[in-house]
A = this chain, B = another copy of it.
Amino acid sequence: MMKKSFFFLLVCFLIEQSVFGQSPEAQKIRKYGNENAGKIIGEFSEFLTLPNVATDPVGQQKNADFIMGMMQKRGIQNTQLLNATTPNVPPAVYGEVIVPGAKQTLIFYAHYDGQPVNPAQWSEGLEPFNPKLFTNALDKNGTNIPFSKDNNYNDDWRIYARGASDDKGGVVAILNAYDALKKNGIKPTYNLKFFFEGEEEAGSPHLNEILEKHQALLQSNLWIICDGPVHQSGKKQIVFGVRGDTNLDLTVYASKRPLHSGHYGNWAPNPGMMLAKLLSSMKDENGKVTIKGFYDDVTPLSPSERKALDEVPSVEEQMKIELGINDVEMQGLTLSEAINQPSLNINGMQSGNVGKMASNQIPTIATAVLDLRLVLGNDWERQQQKVIDHIITQGFYVTEKDPTDEERSKYAKIIKVIREDGVNAQRTSMDLPIIQKVISAIKLTTTDQVVLQPTMGGTLPVYIIEKYLKATTVTVPIANHDNNQHAENENIRIGNLLDGMVTMGALMMMK
């Protein structure tokens, strides 16, 4: 009998640990989320109906006003729109909670703008700004069900809409985490500031202006960036650095007017072929970038970063199955190792038309957008220059404008290269005391491993925050990894949204 009840108690304890293995405070936040899911998700889905492309200042103003309303409803103080010096820039939305006795301040960051959308590429029945609820991911046979006002939401359900995970979900998790603390009478241990940006997906071109202009208001001991996905294993992760990022827009020129492919095919140059040959020259068959010096400048990982990297759970085989791929581009590297290298990706390329719009012609131009991701040590302008130098070695005349007739008559291979703005990579030391507190706080929200990532693949404006405010930053993502961020069918898993509240809440009361 004795043994049996001990065994029973042990089982109960293990169940308790695996199912409710969070601190009592974390459990309270999760309970609040479950019991208020209808209200939380109702407000969220209203937020998601507002188009949020950074280049649309009118649309962005509506989003900013909506967030102001969300904060005011929650009794957050000193709410205001922080404008840049440049006019017609989507404002950052600010608010704060002064906690009696608190000596230090955390700023919670998320962004409310989203990547541009091409509605035609979304699956049938989905629209970027008409959020829909599904019983699971689309590729896991999820079916559309109506939003409901009661609180009966399942963790595996998903909301599909632009911004669902990147990063309106972050705004919603942060503000509802604060609500959950307040309703449960839990006092934050830090003064809290909230900063929601409206231009992150456009590369934060005016964030420096906003930070400089409102420097006094934005003092803090730590910025917590809530953006990006949790680990592919489903485990929570803390991210200490981000890849930098910059783009190059390439346009290769052929004939000034489109030509009939029969009358001129294989006499007049084809811009698609010229571009294909150029792009093809940039990588070898093992996925390694062949551009001279491309992997130079990289700052090596510190011993503790190397150790953290070694402890990242292996997800390669799982991800290959999930993504339906048989092999990886960069031979011999794990995903986390690949992310700690600079990369070159073809975001898009186009020449003429394909599919139903295809016609038998030689197009006039071929274009490609290259995405260069950077790691610590890389400089974005230097990285761009390496690519441009490579293009020159391939026999191209490089210009920044459409070629003149004179240039056309002089050069066989002409390319326009537009250098987009960029940001460098950033990495915060894991050994800082406040960072150790972050790690401890997140560990209290789960019995599972917390993955420590020296570098996240995504690019967040932490470099700018560090540079203009001399601030310390850490990134704590909450979205499911299969959220289709930046692409069609963006979505967030309900469980990730509600757990995200727990994570954010834990940070507000970290000790």
Residues of chain A having any CB pair with chain B under 8 Å: 55, 115-116, 118, 139, 228-229, 242-243, 245, 247, 249, 253-270, 272-273, 275-277, 279-280, 282-283, 285, 287, 289, 320-330, 333, 335, 338-339, 341, 343-363, 366-369, 371, 373, 403, 405, 408-412, 456-459, 481-482, 484-489
Contacts and interface: CB of A to CB of B under 8 A. Distances in A.
10 contacts: A116-B358, A256-B322, A268-B323, A272-B346, A276-B276, A276-B279, A279-B280, A326-B409, A347-B353, A358-B369
B349 A260 contact: no
Given A116-B359, A263-B456, A354-B348, A280 B273 contact: yes
A191 to B, nearest CB: 32
A8 B352 CA distance: 56
Q: How many copies does the complex hold?
A: 2
B358 A264 contact: no
Contacts of A481: 263
A155 to B, nearest CB: 20
A375 to B, nearest CB: 11
Contacts of A357: 116, 118, 348
A368 B406 CA distance: 31
Given A261-B343, A263-B481, A348-B358, 19 more contacts: A229-B263, A260-B457, A260-B486, A261-B371, A262-B339, A263-B339, A265-B345, A265-B373, A268-B328, A269-B327, A270-B329, A272-B349, A275-B276, A276-B346, A347-B358, A349-B351, A350-B354, A358-B369, A359-B486
Given A265-B371, A412-B326, A351 B346 contact: yes
A280 B283 contact: no
Nearest to A364: B487
A225 B481 CA distance: 60
A269 B358 contact: no
Listed residue (A259, A275, A282, A287) with the most chain B CB atoms within 10 angstroms of its CB: A259
Contacts of A255: 323-325
A10 to B, nearest CB: 40
A487 B256 CA distance: 12
A409 B321 CA distance: 7
Contact of A339 (B249, B267, B349): B267
Contacts of A289: 266
Contacts of A116: 353, 356-359
A346 B259 CA distance: 12
Contacts of A488: 258
B368 A257 contact: no
Given A280-B277, A346-B272, A265 B358 contact: no
Contacts of A408: 324-326
Given A256-B139, A263-B228, A359-B116, A346 B352 contact: yes
A489 to B, nearest CB: 7
Contacts of A265: 343-345, 371, 373, 457
Contact of A368 (B272, B333, B348, B485): B272
